[in-house]
């Protein structure tokens, strides 16, 4: 007989470490801060610990100013240098912390592509209590000034939920939560707990201080799942005094909260302070909520509405011996398998035609 799991989740609301020019970032200090927050959350009973968007080494709260071209280039280069490779030294440290704490850690990182130099992603790193990387999600929908830094994430495993000891765990980043198909894709894969990673940034709109809880409630209620929203907040005394001029560090407010499958806020939202928001999760509520709205059951209409997701990854270089291939097409072995199936179907057609003529 299935048992409904209960556990405690933690939404971290904290600031990365930013420095004055020409250094700008301190990935080591931010990593050490993250490790301390994992320990603190674990000591308070959390077995799921969620961090904000690109917490390591920090979110890009600035955009290009063409009048400061050389300095912009230097900032970009330092952001790349302090970004995180998967696997790498920083991920090893996070995995060890997750294992020590016996907790799932969901960390927002600015990911540096180890294969393609100069390529960065806005990513979520999922780590198990055994200290293993479950996978990453690379942000599919890049927002505003992120376009100056990040490459869009691809399909396939990038859009899948992860198996956890309590059920299914998923995550999306910031503006991706405005995309109905991304949300739906995770809901129908059976996510039990969804992590929302935000920069806690107003972006020029005061109303965004209320948008984050509303978007979290909307997702939780429509998906009959728990939602854990983690947002950045940078206290005034932690804002660098001589950073690149075109920045908005003073526009962070937080907004972290935890919402149950009925769309009710059970913890937070917390604003204008560094803190950890805790909430006790009971997965029985997921089942109870599905008695009303269930996109995998009574509210599913897969016969008239369904979603296509590209499973293959694009590559800039691929072998020419894959006849007729393009970066997103099938390889030679797949083409050969299709030809074999076509031949079998043609043989069936000839057989059926012969039987019909014999009659």
CA distances from 324 to 155, 310, 312, 317, 352 (A): 22, 19, 16, 14, 32
Residue 205: per-residue pLDDT: 54
Q: In the predicted model, what is the mean pLDDT of residues 298-312?
A: 85
Q: Is 231 a catalytic residue?
A: no
Local structure of 32: helix, strand or coil:
helix
Q: Which of 53, 78, 146, 176 is catalytic?
A: 53
Residue-averaged pLDDT of the chain:
90
Angle between helices 208-223 and 180-188 (to 10 degrees): 40
Q: Is 21 a catalytic residue?
A: no
Q: Distance between CA 322 and CA 334 in Å, rounded?
A: 10
Number of H helices, E strands in the chain: 7, 12
Tokens of 127: 């780590």
Residue 267: per-residue pLDDT: 96
Give the tens place of pLDDT for each residue, 123-153: 999 999 999 999 999 999 898 899 999 999 9
The DSSP symbol for 247 reads: B
Q: Residues 6 or more apart from 263 whose CB is under 8 A from it?
A: 217, 218, 220, 221
Q: Which of 78, 90, 174, 231 is catalytic?
A: 174
Angle, vertex CA 278, rays to CA 277 and CA 280, nearest 5: 150
Tokens of 37: 């927050």
Q: Is 174 a catalytic residue?
A: yes
Return the CATH class of domain 6-290: alpha beta
Local structure of 41: helix, strand or coil:
helix
Query: Which of 30-44, 55-69, 283-297, 303-317 shows the lowest mean pLDDT across its residues?
Result: 303-317
Phi-psi region at 304: left, alpha or beta (left = phi > 0; alpha = psi -120 to 50) = alpha
Residue that the structure tokens 């393009």 belong to:
326
Q: Residues 6 or more apart from 91 whose CB is under 8 A from it?
A: 84, 85, 125, 127, 133
Q: Which of 139, 231, 270, 290 is catalytic?
A: 139
Domain segments of the chain: what residues?
A: 6-290, 315-359
Local structure of 336: helix, strand or coil:
helix
Give the tens place of pLDDT for each residue, 326-336: 555 555 667 77
Q: Distance between CA 123 and CA 176 in Å, rounded?
A: 12
Do residues 15 and 273 touch, judged by C-beta distance below 8 A? no
Residue 346: per-residue pLDDT: 87
């Amino acid at each position: 007989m299935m048992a409904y799991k209960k556990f405690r989740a933690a939404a971290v609301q904290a600031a990365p470490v930013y420095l004055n020019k020409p250094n700008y970032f301190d990935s080591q200090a931010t990593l050490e801060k993250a490790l301390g927050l994992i320990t603190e959350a674990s000591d308070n009973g959390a077995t799921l610990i969620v961090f904000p968007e690109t917490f390591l080494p920090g979110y890009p709260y600035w955009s290009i100013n063409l009048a400061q071209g050389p300095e912009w280039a230097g900032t970009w280069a330092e952001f790349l240098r302090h970004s995180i490779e998967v696997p790498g030294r920083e991920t090893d440290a996070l995995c060890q912390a997750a294992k020590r704490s016996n907790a799932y850690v969901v960390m927002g990182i600015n990911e540096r592509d180890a294969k393609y130099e100069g390529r960065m992603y806005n990513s979520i790193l999922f780590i198990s209590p055994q200290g293993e990387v479950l996978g990453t999600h690379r942000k599919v929908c890049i927002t505003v000034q992120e376009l100056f830094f990040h490459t869009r994430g691809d399909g396939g495993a990038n859009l899948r939920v992860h198996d956890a000891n309590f059920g299914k765990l998923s995550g999306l980043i910031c503006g991706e939560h405005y995309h109905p198909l991304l949300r739906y894709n995770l809901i129908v894969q059976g996510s039990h707990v969804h992590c929302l990673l935000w920069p806690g940034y107003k972006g020029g709109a005061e109303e965004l201080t209320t948008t984050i809880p509303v978007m979290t409630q909307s997702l939780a209620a429509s998906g009959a799942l728990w939602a854990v929203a983690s947002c950045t907040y940078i206290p005034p005394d932690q804002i660098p005094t001589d950073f690149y001029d075109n920045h908005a560090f003073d526009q962070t407010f937080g907004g972290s909260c935890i919402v149950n499958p009925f769309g009710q806020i059970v913890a937070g939202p917390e604003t204008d302070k560094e803190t950890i928001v805790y909430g006790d999760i009971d997965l029985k509520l997921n089942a109870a909520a599905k008695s009303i709205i269930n996109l995998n059951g009574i509210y599913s209409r897969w016969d008239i509405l369904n979603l296509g997701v590209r499973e293959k990854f694009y590559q800039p270089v691929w072998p020419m011996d894959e006849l007729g291939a393009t970066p997103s097409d099938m390889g030679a072995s797949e083409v050969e398998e299709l030809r074999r199936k076509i031949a079998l179907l043609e043989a069936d057609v000839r057989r059926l035609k012969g039987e019909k003529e014999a009659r």
